[in-house]
Structure 1
Amino acid sequence: MLLESMKKGIGKYVMIVLASLLILSFAVWGIGDMAGVISNPDEIAIVGETKITQREFQDQFRREMERIRSRVGNINAEQARNIGLADTALNSLIAKRLILLQATALGILISDDQVVRRIKKEPTFRNEMGQFDRVVFQTTLANNGLSENMYVASLREETQQEYIGGAITAGVEAPPTLVNKVYQFRNERRTADIIKIKRSLAGKPPSPKEVQLVEFLNKNSAQFMAPEYRRLSILHLDPVEVAKELSPSEDDIQTEYEDRLASLSVPERRQLEQILLQDEEASKRAYSSLNEGRSFLSVATEFSEKPIEKTKLGLVARRDMLPMLADAVFALKKNQFTKPQKSPMGWHIIRVAEIEPGREPKLEEVRKQISDDLALDLALDDLVKRANQLEDSLAGGGSIDDAANDIGVKVLKTALIDSSGMSQTKKKQNGIPLEESFTQTAFSLKKGETSNLIETSNGGYFMVRVDDIVEAVKRAMDEVRPEVQAAWKADWLNKSIRKTAEEIRASVKGGTPLASAVSGKNLTVEVSKPVSRFSSLSGNLIPPSLLHEMFNAKVGDLLIGPISDGYAVVRVKGIQAASLANSDSDLKDLKGALSIAIANDVLQEYSRALREEYPVVMNQAALDAYFSNQDYGRR
């Protein structure tokens, strides 16, 4: 966190690009593309020949959570993972590691003198006289849980990253013409007249005749096909199942517990509430109000620029906080609040609502987790040996059944199943590998063919043989009559209201006023508020299906598109062009954002090349294990 606070200094632009955009560049591939097998549960990923440990990931994930909390308020680890923050944290570590590997390969070394100069220039380490103070330096490091060696090594790496990032993105700047065009594109607004025609206006559909149902089934046979079914023989080596049969020794469990105690320990955490203001004078007035005895909630309501629910930061550890805030906050007692504290985000007043003491878990509390992790590690080693035995057996001409018998496992013989694993009687087939690659493999083979031995994302293996195939066929009317009847009636309703929409459009095009065209049809004309291409769909009268088309149309054009319960007719009413006058501040911000976006494109291509040169393997099992620990992983 200390290094994060320094990014506003030397190399600010480069560090913004590296910190935020290299992350995005890896989103092009996604975590799944990097999945592989790593036997050590403490290693989250391997980049080239270097390792990213669980502790490194944990620290980065916490930093990402703190960044999000400063914007949206409290969020727990599970919610953070669901919105992709774990991927962001891991991608960030991978991106930085790739840059460092390339910097080393290019011979870019940072001397001790360069590191010393950067340290002495850092305002955080200066005393009241504005001079570098070694006591302040060491105290600041200690308060952030860093040794001098750790900090120097991190600073050296950051400087290497700046050299590479700066060289790649040097001179990147969005041209004025592009900035103006994008600003006008984003801020143009339009209004529209809207008529919504709901299915209920069409009345009750008639009962279809048999000939109509047959014709409908023939025209829409793809909707009513029986899927292709296959009978499979599956050899599946699942490390999770194998691990259930293994028991690590007590000595191994004790040793692992001691090695992982630091990462398993829970630090002291505090339930915090925050008033965040951009103006120093306003923060002083808010602080005075609190000293007068007013409640934190009432002062936050009066002064805060964020919704009141976002003043709650949740349970936060010292290492989760910005360095310039942590000391003040963790010096408080329960129900006390800080003086206004300055950070890059503004002025903070933080109150301690609750204090949760830190603790080290006893071995018995985490025994199962450690035992399961060690058993999985043993299982992965065992499966590598079994996989080698399988390949030897197959190389000798053995069948899938022979190979399974050689290593003492059973081959699963399935019923006829479709690609979702459902049988013809709609029963789910148990024991099938939960891998997209399994389905793709099993349904790409011909009858009688056997796949290669294929590795799964959790370190297991599978092999599949196709024993029988029942081709997809059109179902007979008697099998799908209720479904065909329902589809025919829905189609009748859609055609009926679509016809009404077409009649209204034709009438208006012929010169009839819009109000007259809908008269007597139990319809109303609504007028939208001005909307942009990027307006929120919530509460917006414009149907999502027509928003894009509306911005390609001219004033007076009539458009027809589906809505959730029918169709809508939309007439473009007015166009409000975006003015560049008095927009200097917005244009400046947009230019910065576009410049970073262009730099991101450059870095994406560079990162692709680096990823080819330094292979990336991600340990999905270790990542899942981190989050599966309810007590110690989600914090």
Structure 2
Amino acid sequence: MLQALRDKASSWVIKILLGLLIIAFAIWGINDVFLGERDPAVATVGDVKIARSQADEALRDELNRLRPVLGTIDREAAFRMGLTNQVLTRLINRTVANIAAQELGIVASDQMVNRSIRSDRRFFDQSGKFSRNLFYQTLSNANMAEGYYVSTLKQSLPSEHLNRAVSGNIPVPKALIGPLTRFRSEQRTARTVLVPPPLGAAREPKGDELEAFYKENISGFMAPEYRDVTFIHLDPRELSKEVRVAEEKIKESYAQRIEEFTLRDRRKLAQVVFRTEAGAAAAAAAIKSGKSLAEAAKEKGKTQKVVKLGWVEQKDLFTVLAKPVFALKKGETSGVLKSPLGWHIVAIEDSEIGRVKPLSEVRKQVRDGLAAGEAQNSIFALANQLEDSLAAGADIKAAAARLNVRAVNVPALDRQGLGRNGKRVAKLPIGGKFLRTAFEHSDGESSTLRETQAGGFYILMVNKVMPPKVRPLKDVRRIAVTAWKAERQAQAASRRAKAIVARLKKGDNFAAIARDEKLEVKTSPAFTRLTHEAQSGVAAALAEKLFSLKVGDAAMAESTQGYVVGVLASVSAGAGKQKAAVAEGTLREIRQGMAADLTAQLLEAFRRRVTIKTYPDLLRDRI
């Protein structure tokens, strides 16, 4: 048989077949021929592919969001509940929005991204201007790499601009605003007393009482689900501490960044801008006579606003103002200066002379920057070596030993990153993704190598899953006794409050009842249905009941400090300014709702123009 095959292999038919196979491998690749596509599309929107890895990430986010409500959901259950289709629909809608934005000419250029970052007030320094150092510091505090942030922002800008274009100045019917404004503006006042739990410690529970309480509230005495996890964390920040940076490189980097370390002359300014030269001249004369800038701005019964400019450099001012202003010293005030905006009088509140920070002052900053760059390059090399070692069959511990990196074992880790002692486990990769990854995998399963927002990598293995279980009463006796006593005291306060309400319904005087009970009567300020209890002093649960009562009627509700009994004192339609503010807020909310509807209609129109195909079964066993 083998000889026959050898004879046939030399024939021209076999050569043609082998040639076709070589062409197939060249076009589609060996992996695709034998392994199939590694990251297939779970949906396509026109020519745009939604990869399975992208949908996996979104689906895990959704399951983690729902886990506190629904508990742990397995793969098949998530599919049956329709969660897979919901997540896929959201991804499709987002893709359609991006396509719509592109077709309408809304594209996020690098310049737009740059402007968006520079106008973000989170990155402004004390002078009210964009600070590159603060930008990097903010991202560092959030453990987010610059490239990740910029990429995410660039993806979101087109749909944001599309929403703004659709929602701009939508007309809203007055007939819709009026009833809602009246409902929201209605004000009430109430007289209330707080009925606190009884003073003094409650008695100790008897054995059968505590046992019964423990069984009735068993869900409150559950130990959380834990994972025994071993992980490797390739952290560029830790690695940078071990990097040695040559002195020559530090000096070279300092020279290249000299502009960054150059501080310009600055002045802290306050100014008044006058519409007329005569007004400015009168104020300047008043200042010469000894009056302050603020006092001079009030001359002749007219008050001009004193504007605090804060710290500025010469380049921040009009050219006609820069030279004379920076010629002044701290505490001095300029004469009348003219610019395109009017006539200025400028006061110098403080000043700083520019200088260049010496290398000795910024050496650590320069060194750390260079070390971080080298560490980041090394991290990628280590990550590649780690993947190669794991692909060769090594487990996490063996791979760590080969690379001389640390494999960390955490014997008990819950979803919040806490150990059995209730304290946070130290030195975990920062961010929720690590914890989410740990609770996505079962006994003996390992994750893939995953990147952190800080630019590092981690991989983990779940050694053991410890499901939630009821802690025995002997382990939680102290907690159970405390909870039992608190409940007994709350019940006593509730009975007392009910007795007060019963007396009020019989017609007894509220002030007299309060004196009998040694309680203080308080009268609330006027509040609406939207007023927070911190402003009104009325517990939210009681306020809700008061809006269904008539003047003089009473109600009670539980609060954080016991129980509150309240009597409705007055009802009013609300003040003019308050109603105007409510009307404005209502108008804004209605417009936002209408804008959402219009955006949904627009996206639906675009959905009909593209072919959408979905393959949700590919997610069924990938949760």
Structure 2-normalised TM-score?
0.62
Instruction: Name stretches of at least 5 consecutive residues in structure 2 with no aligned partner.
Output: 1-60, 62-106, 605-623
Q: Which amino acid aligns with 2:459?
A: M
Q: C-alpha root-mean-square deviation of aligned residues, in Å? A: 5.5
Find out whether 1:385 has 2:381 as its counterpart: yes
**CA contact 2:123–2:134 (8 Å) conserved in 1:** no
Q: Which amino acid aligns with 2:442?
A: K
**CA contact 2:185–2:579 (8 Å) conserved in 1:** no
User: How far apart are 1:358 and its partner, in Å?
Assistant: 2.3
User: Paired residue for 1:242, among 213, 219, 239?
Assistant: 239
User: How far apart are 1:213 and its partner, in Å?
Assistant: 1.9
User: How far apart are 1:490 and its partner, in Å?
Assistant: 1.6
User: Paired residue for 2:194, among 193, 196, 209?
Assistant: 196
User: How far apart are 1:447 and its partner, in Å?
Assistant: 1.8
> Is the alpha carbon distance of 1:165 and 1:53 closer, same or farther for their aligned partners in structure 2, counting shifts above 3 Å?
closer
**CA contact 1:404–1:410 (8 Å) conserved in 2:** yes
Which is further off, 513-522 or 340-349? 340-349
Please give the alpha-carbon distance, in whole angstroms, between the structure 2 residues aligned to 1:92 and 1:410.
29
**CA contact 1:174–1:598 (8 Å) conserved in 2:** no
> Is the alpha carbon distance of 1:338 and 1:215 closer, same or farther for their aligned partners in structure 2, counting shifts above 3 Å?
farther
User: How far apart are 1:59 and its partner, in Å?
Assistant: 7.2
Secondary structure at 1:444 match in 2: coil
Q: Which amino acid aligns with 2:485?
A: K
Q: Which amino acid aligns with 1:431?
A: K
Please give the alpha-carbon distance, in whole angstroms, between the structure 2 residues aligned to 1:211 and 1:563.
30
Please give the alpha-carbon distance, in whole angstroms, between the structure 2 residues aligned to 1:206 and 1:546.
30
Secondary structure at 2:257 match in 1: helix
The 5 Å alignment of 1:43-62 reads: 50=110, 57=117, 61=121
Find out whether 1:209 has 2:201 as its counterpart: no
Aligned residues: 490
Please give the alpha-carbon distance, in whole angstroms, between the structure 1 residues aligned to 2:206 and 2:421.
30
The residue that corresponds to 1:177 in the other structure is: 175
Please give the alpha-carbon distance, in whole angstroms, between the structure 1 residues aligned to 2:522 and 2:397.
69
> Is the alpha carbon distance of 1:471 and 1:167 closer, same or farther for their aligned partners in structure 2, counting shifts above 3 Å?
closer
Secondary structure at 1:416 match in 2: strand
**CA contact 1:232–1:465 (8 Å) conserved in 2:** yes
Please give the alpha-carbon distance, in whole angstroms, between the structure 1 residues aligned to 2:466 and 2:588.
55
User: Paired residue for 2:521, among 505, 521, 525?
Assistant: 525
User: How far apart are 1:462 and its partner, in Å?
Assistant: 1.0
User: Paired residue for 2:400, among 392, 404, 407?
Assistant: 404
Please give the alpha-carbon distance, in whole angstroms, between the structure 2 residues aligned to 1:315 and 1:413.
51
Q: Which amino acid aligns with 1:188?
A: E
Please give the alpha-carbon distance, in whole angstroms, between the structure 2 residues aligned to 1:258 and 1:420.
46
Instruction: Name stretches of at least 5 consecutive residues in structure 1 with no aligned partner.
Output: 1-28, 30-46, 70-75, 104-160, 610-635
Q: Flag the structure with larger Rg.
A: 2
User: How far apart are 1:458 and its partner, in Å?
Assistant: 0.4
User: How far apart are 1:234 and its partner, in Å?
Assistant: 0.9
Q: Which amino acid aligns with 1:192?
A: A
Secondary structure at 2:263 match in 1: coil
The 5 Å alignment of 1:411-560 reads: 411-424=407-420, 429-515=425-511, 517-518=513-514, 520-533=516-529, 535=531, 540-544=536-540, 546-547=542-543, 550-551=546-547, 555-556=551-552, 558-560=554-556
The residue that corresponds to 2:609 in the other structure is: none
User: How far apart are 1:491 and its partner, in Å?
Assistant: 1.6
Post-superposition Cα deviations, 1:135-175, rounded to whole Å, max 9, x if no partner, equal xxxxxxxxxxxxxxxxxxxxxxxxxx9xx898545663344
User: How far apart are 1:176 and its partner, in Å?
Assistant: 2.8
Find out whether 1:362 has 2:358 as its counterpart: yes
The residue that corresponds to 2:263 in the other structure is: 266
The residue that corresponds to 2:48 in the other structure is: none
User: How far apart are 1:363 and its partner, in Å?
Assistant: 2.9
User: Paired residue for 1:293, among 290, 294, 300?
Assistant: 290
Structure 1-normalised TM-score?
0.61
Secondary structure at 2:516 match in 1: coil
Find out whether 1:219 has 2:216 as its counterpart: yes
**CA contact 1:562–1:568 (8 Å) conserved in 2:** yes
Q: Give aligned-pair identity as a percent.
A: 29
User: How far apart are 1:257 and its partner, in Å?
Assistant: 3.1
Post-superposition Cα deviations, 1:321-368, rounded to whole Å, max 9, x if no partner, equal 899997886564321346799999999975322101222322332232
The 5 Å alignment of 1:133-148 reads: none
Please give the alpha-carbon distance, in whole angstroms, between the structure 2 residues aligned to 1:531 and 1:341.
51
**CA contact 1:341–1:349 (8 Å) conserved in 2:** yes
Please give the alpha-carbon distance, in whole angstroms, between the structure 1 residues aligned to 2:477 and 2:119.
59
The residue that corresponds to 1:566 in the other structure is: 562
Secondary structure at 2:171 match in 1: coil
> Is the alpha carbon distance of 1:603 and 1:412 closer, same or farther for their aligned partners in structure 2, counting shifts above 3 Å?
farther
Q: Which amino acid aligns with 1:483?
A: I
Please give the alpha-carbon distance, in whole angstroms, between the structure 1 residues aligned to 2:527 and 2:337.
39
Secondary structure at 1:481 match in 2: helix
User: How far apart are 1:596 and its partner, in Å?
Assistant: 7.8
The 5 Å alignment of 1:81-160 reads: none
Please give the alpha-carbon distance, in whole angstroms, between the structure 1 residues aligned to 2:327 and 2:573.
54
Q: Which amino acid aligns with 1:367?
A: R
> Is the alpha carbon distance of 1:551 and 1:398 closer, same or farther for their aligned partners in structure 2, counting shifts above 3 Å?
farther
The 5 Å alignment of 1:15-54 reads: 50=110
> Is the alpha carbon distance of 1:467 and 1:179 closer, same or farther for their aligned partners in structure 2, counting shifts above 3 Å?
same
**CA contact 1:184–1:579 (8 Å) conserved in 2:** no
Please give the alpha-carbon distance, in whole angstroms, between the structure 1 residues aligned to 2:167 and 2:347.
42
**CA contact 2:163–2:595 (8 Å) conserved in 1:** no
Please give the alpha-carbon distance, in whole angstroms, between the structure 1 residues aligned to 2:283 and 2:295.
10
User: How far apart are 1:459 and its partner, in Å?
Assistant: 0.9
**CA contact 1:257–1:363 (8 Å) conserved in 2:** yes
User: How far apart are 1:512 and its partner, in Å?
Assistant: 4.4
User: How far apart are 1:240 and its partner, in Å?
Assistant: 0.7
User: How far apart are 1:296 and its partner, in Å?
Assistant: 5.8
User: How far apart are 1:253 and its partner, in Å?
Assistant: 3.6
Q: Which amino acid aligns with 1:395?
A: A
The residue that corresponds to 2:227 in the other structure is: 230
**CA contact 1:283–1:347 (8 Å) conserved in 2:** yes
Post-superposition Cα deviations, 1:75-125, rounded to whole Å, max 9, x if no partner, equal x979x979x99x9xx99999996799799xxxxxxxxxxxxxxxxxxxxxx
Secondary structure at 2:354 match in 1: coil
Post-superposition Cα deviations, 1:559-610, rounded to whole Å, max 9, x if no partner, equal 4334442221223322211477x9998799769966985798599989999x
> Is the alpha carbon distance of 1:420 and 1:66 closer, same or farther for their aligned partners in structure 2, counting shifts above 3 Å?
closer
Please give the alpha-carbon distance, in whole angstroms, between the structure 2 residues aligned to 1:471 and 1:519.
54
User: How far apart are 1:473 and its partner, in Å?
Assistant: 3.0
> Is the alpha carbon distance of 1:589 and 1:564 closer, same or farther for their aligned partners in structure 2, counting shifts above 3 Å?
closer
User: How far apart are 1:229 and its partner, in Å?
Assistant: 3.6
> Is the alpha carbon distance of 1:95 and 1:172 closer, same or farther for their aligned partners in structure 2, counting shifts above 3 Å?
farther
> Is the alpha carbon distance of 1:349 and 1:202 closer, same or farther for their aligned partners in structure 2, counting shifts above 3 Å?
farther
